[in-house]
Structure 1
Amino acid sequence: MSEKKANVHWEGAGKTGKGAISTETGALKDYPYGFASRFEDDRRGTNPEEIVGAAHAACFTMAFAFACEKAGVALQQADTQASVRLVKDGEGFKIDRIALTLTAKAAGLDEAKFQELAQGAKAGCPLSKALAAVPEITLSATLQA
């Protein structure tokens, strides 16, 4: 069993306030976020959707690596991008789509087996399971020669 922790400190109102995100590993240490980094183009901070996307991409990619290993496939590299869409939902917002894009190299892997392993990793990774309430989670997987 594994349990990881993150902390957020917030000061002020929703639109004008500022927050700071920290993780127990120190990967994020008082990293800023707020309205502008979430809903506008302020690149000086992060936002929850970006963090969810990074976590989902990381979890999926590791699950794919384990799936390749279990299948006896020598994975050379895998790169995953996650695009998380936040949309207006009545008075609030919701995540309505996460699009995963995988590009991978693996010696001796054919397209059909590659797609099978990628889809299995998407279905089986803990973050995909945790995010099951998201109406649409897609995967576009490209096997490089």
Structure 2
Amino acid sequence: MKRTAKAHWEGDLKEGKGELTTQSGILTKTNYSFKTRTTDGGVGTNPEELLAAAHAGCFTMAVGAALAQKGAKATALDTEATITMEGLGIASVHLVITGVVPGIEAAVFDAITKDAERNCIISKALNVPIRSEAHLVF
């Protein structure tokens, strides 16, 4: 399986602007720029925000799959991924997941999320510290 995305850029770093388009079409000529990357300067996205979204999605899917292997089914899993930048690099990722999973114990939920923290596809692709917090709602 292969997934693709395209980027178009015009201009220099600080004043330039670009567009991102994904194979699925969910992003079609979506604005990105230095301003959307470093400030709240306009409507658009940035690579770090997209990486956070990808990581949150991947991690949450991994938790859902692991729950199913334990015979549990989540009625809700919500994850927030926060990417911390230091200079021109990604320093860390912090994942916070809240789940409503009938019949699961908190210790099992915690163990599943820790495994997903280390082993979801995006986590494995990153070479930065990744931390997660799990909150099970009864």
TM-score, structure 2 length as denominator? 0.97
Q: Higher strand proportion, which one?
A: 1
Partner of 1:51: 50
CA deviation map 1:71-121 (0-9, x unaligned): 111211100000111121xxxx00001110000010111111110111111
Deviation at 1:39, TM superposition (A): 0.7
* Cα separation, 2, equivalents of 1:43 and 1:64: 34
Partner of 1:110: 105
* Cα separation, 2, equivalents of 1:83 and 1:65: 20
* Cα separation, 1, equivalents of 2:89 and 2:68: 36
Residues 1:139 and 2:132 are matched in the alignment: yes
* Cα separation, 2, equivalents of 1:21 and 1:110: 42
Residues 1:87 and 2:86 are matched in the alignment: yes
Deviation at 1:122, TM superposition (A): 1.6
Partner of 1:18: 17
* Cα separation, 2, equivalents of 1:74 and 1:85: 31
Deviation at 1:43, TM superposition (A): 4.0
CA deviation map 1:54-80 (0-9, x unaligned): 000000000000000001112111000
User: Structure 1 vs Structure 2: percent identity of aligned residues?
Assistant: 38
Partner of 1:31: 30
Paired residues of 2:17 and 2:31 also in contact (CA < 8 A): yes
* Cα separation, 2, equivalents of 1:102 and 1:118: 8
Gaps of 5+ in 2: none
Paired residues of 2:64 and 2:73 also in contact (CA < 8 A): no
User: How many residues end up aligned between the 2 structures?
Assistant: 138
* Cα separation, 2, equivalents of 1:106 and 1:73: 7
* Cα separation, 2, equivalents of 1:50 and 1:30: 16
Partner of 1:100: 95
* Cα separation, 2, equivalents of 1:43 and 1:107: 42
Partner of 1:72: 71
* Cα separation, 2, equivalents of 1:74 and 1:9: 41
